[in-house]
Amino acid sequence: MNNLVVVNHPLAQHLLTQLRDKQTPPAVFRSLTRKLTTILLIEATRDLPTDSVSVETPLERTQGAVLAAKLVVVPILRAGLGMLEPVVDLFPDVAVGYIGMERDHTTAIANSYYLKLPPVEGRTVLLIDPMLATGGSVDQALAAIRSRGAGRMIVICIVAAPEGVERITQHHPDVPIYTAALDRELNPAKYILPGIGDFGDRLYGTLTSPDASATIGAPLND
């Protein structure tokens, strides 16, 4: 899993632990998601290219650096929307695309129901989705983005399963995956263990019962 980067920063792990807690309410869950995404994003963009520029400080002229890469961010709907705000905040000029994926609960296979991408040719594309489970959705999304000529692709997720990481590594060996945790495994229903619960439901407060997130494991967003 050479393309996997687990961000073990103490603050990242602190935030992740609170996200895992089934007692965390949606409003706090959304805030934690934004904060943790910011940490992951900074790590994932550490090697973006820059251009040297001259700038006048209040005291003298000096050399500085500005971002040279043209960025595109693509959240996988719906849970990926919870990670979008930090990207736009840190990179105001980023172009935003959307990919909708929905799994068949019988086959656990993800199907695309929506695709809207800005021009990606030659650009760096950040694909964001909280849970990398089987890897099906992320695999399809990366293939769609690649087919449009993306220059570079980076996956950012909150939690990953070994099965999903292996799939992306095999099908997209040039794509790095940044995550806060590599969890143990998928259960027979293809949910991540120990997981976070149904990320989308916890994000938007749509759980069907108070204990739903604890009983189903992490959602198979992909």
The catalytic residue positions are 103, 107, 198, 201
The half-sphere exposure of 179 on its side-chain side, counting CA atoms within 13 A, is 23
Q: Which two tokens stand for residue 92?
A: 């105001």
Pairing of strands 181-182, 192-193: unpaired
Tell me if the bond preceding 148 is cis, omega within 30° of 0.
no
Q: Can you tell me the distance from the alpha carbon of 83 to that of 128, in angstroms, rounded to the nearest whole number?
A: 7
Residue 11's SS3 state is: helix
Counting every residue written for the chain, the total comes to 222
